[in-house]
Copies of this chain bind each other. A is one copy, B any other.
């Protein structure tokens, strides 16, 4: 499949998951769902589908869709030109998502870092988010997350989003929103 076809297929799948969850989006939002493969070309395992509802100079709101087992790679939101980096709240809406942060590592992690990329998943403190549960991350905190076997939908509420400033642990990653 060409890249364009892959993106369209992922958009369709994400839209179907949102629809099944009763989350309405407009045709324009549907057509512009961001399909992020982080330049790794391995979307099913490391990727994220994003509907940006609003991103202005004060706050941001998005819906994140993760396919079953899909992982958003480890990264952080640094300060930019002296301004504090992004603070963000993840609120699980559907499925289960495991969020990993600095701190005491889980004895038996529920998620599995993508094979071949383990070295780039360094934080192992686990927070399990099921529907209705949420977690707020302070700026510049390393984190990554993975959906459970049914995929997940996560609402993200945050300060202004500047994805191009994100710092990923995996040096191969190119984040071009």
Q: Which residues of B contact A131 (CB under 8 A)?
A: 24
Q: Which of A26, A56, A59, A132 has the most CB of B within 10 A?
A: A59
Q: Which stretch, A32-40, A85-93, A102-110, A120-128, touches the partner chain B?
A: A85-93
Give the total of A residues in contact with B, Cβ under 8 Å: 28
Docked pose: A132 CA to B131 CA in angstroms? 20
A57 and chain B: residue at smallest CB distance: B87
Q: Which residues of B contact A79 (CB under 8 A)?
A: none
- Taking the closest CB of chain B, its distance from the CB of A105, in whole angstroms, is 26
Contact of A134 among B21, B54, B60, B132 (CB under 8 A): B54
Docked pose: A147 CA to B56 CA in angstroms? 27
Q: List 6 A-B contacts (CB under 8 A).
A: A53-B91, A54-B89, A54-B134, A54-B157, A61-B61, A61-B91
